[in-house]
Chain A
């Protein structure tokens, strides 16, 4: 399958993510959209990695060139998981305090 399809898919996912972040007010939805953007990037990384790796294999059957990007994907997933835990904790605290998860209520650094 040509790499173009992967690119189009990930661009579409990224744009959906941006649109969601920009338009939604619900903190949880915003959060999900950020995850969407991260995963769009992950998808792109994997696709390019595969492409490079295939090109490298054609020259040398034992090559591992191009596989590094897949490691980055793991990093991103780990970091995203950590971020989600912190972020969700913040949202829970926020709901406890103001009984809402609307991000527009968070326009002041202190009350």
Chain B
């Protein structure tokens, strides 16, 4: 089966080529059939591969397709890594991808045929790149996928390219990603220079012999790459803007898969990170700061997708906290559950937006539970899952990260819990303002409200089931011994030797249960409070003041970046274009022309027409040559 691994990314690539090249000829039915079918085929293959990796005697395999770069001492094959970690990611990507492709067929039906096929072409290209990213068995192939998903993210954010604000958002995402990619690229170069290879197996095998300073440098650069792709401080501001893209895109790329690429990369390279404790501390602190920071912003956002975007940033922060404290399984677990419930939340939001005719302001919604029962129930389940109510999936994954954080440093734990409580608050504020109370839109809007078609509700239901029961693969030991099947499954990849302090020591079970119970009670209280406070929200158009205004304006981060980075850069570019180019470069180029011209004008005077003067010059120069010749020799 592993020999057929190349088919997994091949299907979406073929789908991309067919849809992309035939976009003017294909009808919507054909385009969606190709788009959904190619990802579905990959999903079926991924299931088979997943089944194979579950076998007890399975050993990780590297399938080499062809030589990619082979020069001198460097040998970088184009090869795929088949092991538990990549199989799990294959399953998440193609599984959630298939559901979102199905959903898109209904969500995008208003587009013209050409743009419809273009959409599916981009989406398939994205799935292809993402599969390359998780399948690559060396950092170079991973980097190809890494860049590919960045490109697709750009293309899909700017999908409605006639709107300039959307184009700006796309450019912002691309540029911010590039900053991170530079870090990744430098790390890869450094690795090739140091280890003579970019293959995972060779790099990890040599890691113990390398000085800690070098590993710290490499891992910090890798982490910079991860902050760009996974929207962490300081490179997170692109993700909320990326909501300009179609909602299924936000669900697939900016919630479920692409933004978790950074977490995948760090989990994959955990051998390096285990030897760089400084980087781990940096990751934990940045993750925690992002989780808190984004959560505070999400509390005061009024755009349904913006709330979800900041929530995604915050949850990604949790995952990085998990990576930083060495809970790699916990982080991957949270990636998985987050993919389920955040994709569900986004798709639910898409369903709402679809019904509201592209109105995204939750102050104008309300009472939608009467009109959209399926969306309402699934959205509620997703909110419960993300808030961390047992036995929904978010509870288990978040709890695992928080427990690991407590063992590492109680401060991490307390701050993490605060972020988790804020999560519960903003999610239920969103839920209450959207689905509870009375409808606050216009009467005309109310008459159009309707439940979405089957192609949209079925993915919602499937994802809701996954959000509810997905956590059961990772039941902590405190409830049931050896029930953490995900940990057992991932153990060969993630717990090779350095288990980290977190998994060696354990909390007393009573303490763990008490803390868990305390958090659940607090979360429930906050949910109750949020629904009470916002369930009967009345629209008031008044300017907010004080802290809430700061939160509404997202802590003025965009303004700060504008002032600190964009402005000086623009001024510098202006200086370059107005002064350096005009004076130095143009002066140089024009100067050559002028020098030749004026030199010619002076030389012209020599040509007087007087034969005598020509002969004189001739004789003088000849004599000169003779003199030079005479003195040269001596």
Query: Digit string of B587-631 for contact with A (CB within 8 Å is 1, else 0)?
Result: 000000000000000000000111110011001000000000000
Bound Cα distance A103, B611 (Å): 7
- Contact indicator B616/A106 (Cβ below 8 Å): no
Bound Cα distance A25, B610 (Å): 11
- Contact indicator B615/A107 (Cβ below 8 Å): no
- Measured CB to CB, the closest approach of chain A to B588, in angstroms, equals 39
What are the residues of chain B within 8 A of A109 when measuring CB–CB?
Answer: 609
- Measured CB to CB, the closest approach of chain A to B627, in angstroms, equals 16
- Contact indicator A104/B619 (Cβ below 8 Å): no
What are the residues of chain B within 8 A of A107 when measuring CB–CB?
Answer: 608-611
Identify B615's interface contact among A22, A25, A104, CB under 8 A: A22
Bound Cα distance A21, B615 (Å): 8
Bound Cα distance A108, B608 (Å): 9
What are the residues of chain B within 8 A of A104 when measuring CB–CB?
Answer: 610-612
Query: Digit string of A1-42 for contact with B (CB within 8 Å is 1, else 0)?
Result: 000000000000000001001100100000000000000000
Residue of A22, A103, A108 ringed by the most chain B CB atoms within 10 A: A22
- Contact indicator B611/A18 (Cβ below 8 Å): no
Bound Cα distance A21, B608 (Å): 17
What are the residues of chain A within 8 A of B615 when measuring CB–CB?
Answer: 21-22
Interface of chain A, main secondary structure: helix
What are the residues of chain B within 8 A of A103 when measuring CB–CB?
Answer: 611-612
Bound Cα distance A107, B611 (Å): 7
- Measured CB to CB, the closest approach of chain B to A14, in angstroms, equals 11
- Contact indicator A22/B619 (Cβ below 8 Å): yes
Bound Cα distance A25, B608 (Å): 16
What are the residues of chain A within 8 A of B616 when measuring CB–CB?
Answer: 22
Q: B609 — nearest CB in chain A belongs to which residue?
A: A107
Q: B619 — nearest CB in chain A belongs to which residue?
A: A18
Query: Digit string of B307-343 for contact with A (CB within 8 Å is 1, else 0)?
Result: 0000000000000000000000000000000000000
Bound Cα distance A26, B619 (Å): 19
- Contact indicator A106/B619 (Cβ below 8 Å): no
Q: A19 — nearest CB in chain B belongs to which residue?
A: B619
Identify B609's interface contact among A18, A21, A22, A108, CB under 8 A: A108
What are the residues of chain A within 8 A of B610 when measuring CB–CB?
Answer: 104, 107
Query: Digit string of A84-111 for contact with B (CB within 8 Å is 1, else 0)?
Result: 0000000000000000000110111100
What are the residues of chain A within 8 A of B609 when measuring CB–CB?
Answer: 107-109
Q: A24 — nearest CB in chain B belongs to which residue?
A: B612
- Measured CB to CB, the closest approach of chain B to A66, in angstroms, equals 26
What are the residues of chain A within 8 A of B619 when measuring CB–CB?
Answer: 18, 22
- Measured CB to CB, the closest approach of chain B to A17, in angstroms, equals 11
What are the residues of chain A within 8 A of B611 when measuring CB–CB?
Answer: 103-104, 106-107
Bound Cα distance A110, B611 (Å): 15
What are the residues of chain A within 8 A of B612 when measuring CB–CB?
Answer: 22, 25, 103-104
Residue of A18, A25, A106 ringed by the most chain B CB atoms within 10 A: A18
- Measured CB to CB, the closest approach of chain B to A90, in angstroms, equals 13
Residue of B610, B612, B615 ringed by the most chain A CB atoms within 10 A: B612
Bound Cα distance A22, B615 (Å): 7
- Measured CB to CB, the closest approach of chain B to A72, in angstroms, equals 21
Bound Cα distance A56, B611 (Å): 44
- Measured CB to CB, the closest approach of chain A to B530, in angstroms, equals 100
Q: Which residues of B contact A (CB under 8 A)?
A: 608-612, 615-616, 619
Name 9 extra pairs, CB < 8 A, besides A103-B612, A106-B611, A107-B608: A21-B615, A22-B612, A22-B615, A22-B616, A25-B612, A104-B612, A107-B609, A107-B610, A109-B609
| 10 chain-A/chain-B pairs, Cβ below 8 angstroms | A21-B615, A22-B612, A22-B616, A103-B611, A103-B612, A104-B610, A104-B611, A107-B608, A107-B610, A107-B611
Q: Which residues of A contact B (CB under 8 A)?
A: 18, 21-22, 25, 103-104, 106-109
Query: Which 6 pairs between the two chains have the least Cβ-Cβ distance?
Result: A107-B609, A107-B610, A103-B611, A22-B616, A21-B615, A18-B619
